[in-house]
Amino acid sequence: MALNRDFVGRTYEASATYEVCRVKIKEFADAIGDDNPIYHDKEAAVAAGHPDVVAPPTFPIVFSLSGASEALSDPDLGLNYAMVVHGEQRFEYQRPVYPGDELLCTSTITEIRDAGRNEFLTLRSDVTSTTGELVCRTYNTIVERGGAA
C-alpha cells in the first residue's frame, strides 16, 4: 500500500529525553563486537583526551527514532512494518556523545517517495542537549518492500 504523503513535513518530539550512560555505551560496543577501551574504560578515555567514555558513531540509533515511532506505527501512514528494511542512514556530529548527556530528539518526515515497487520514507532527527545545543543530526531512510506495487 502506498504511504500517505500527507505525513511529509510533520515533526515529532520524543516524549522524554534520553540519558546517555556508561553501561549502555558498553553494552552497545559489546553488541557491535568493538573492544576499543575508549568505549569501555573511563581511564582509557581520559588518557586519550576525553572527559569520559565516548559513544560509538552509530550509537544514536538507540534513541534517534523514539520521537517518530508513534508516527511510523500510525495506521493512517499505512506502513507495513513486516516489509520494512533499512535504506540509508547518516550521522552528522557537532560534538561527541558522552555519558551524562540528556538528549532530546525531534524528528521530521522530510520525504516519502517511490522507486520501482518500493516506498522510501526519510526522517531527519535533530538531537539536542537540554540547553538546546545541537549535538548531532541523523538521517534515516526506511524502505517498505513492495509498498508501491
Partner 1 sequence: MAATVKYDEVEVGQEIPAVDYQVRRVNLVKYAGASGDFNPIHWNERFAKSVGLPDVIAHGMYTMAQGGRFVTDWAGDPAAVIDYGVRFSSMVVVPDDDNGATITISGLIEEKLEDKRIVVVVNARSGDSRVLSKARAVVQLS
Site residues (vs partner 1, CB under 8 A) = 24, 27-28, 30-34, 36, 38-39, 48-50, 54-58, 61-62, 81-93, 96, 139, 145
C-alpha cell at 20: 546517555
Q: How many CB atoms lie within 10 A of CB 126?
A: 18
- 87 contact partners, CB below 8 Å, separation of at least 6: 120, 141, 142, 143
Least separation in angstroms between residue 75's CB and partner 1 is: 19
Pair 142, 86: CB distance under 8 Å: yes
Nearer to partner 1, 7 or 18 (CB): 18
Residue 6 vs 23, nearer CB to partner 1: 23
Considering the complex, what minimum distance in angstroms separates the CB of residue 58 from partner 1?
Answer: 5
CB of residue 82 to partner 1, shortest distance in Å: 5
Q: Residue 69 or residue 130: which is nearer to partner 1 going by CB?
A: 69
> Cell digits for 26?
558498553
Q: Which is nearer to partner 1, 30 or 102 (CB)?
A: 30
CA distances (Å), 5 to each of 20, 68, 78, 126, in order? Answer: 34, 16, 10, 22
Q: Cβ of residue 67: shortest distance to partner 1, in angstroms?
A: 14
Phi/psi of residue 102, each to 5°? -110, 115
**Smallest gap, in angstroms, from Cβ of residue 8 to partner 1?**
21
Of the candidates 91, 143, 149, the residue with the CA atom closest to the CA atom of residue 112: 143
Rank residues 38 and 112 by Cβ distance to partner 1 and give the closer one. Answer: 38
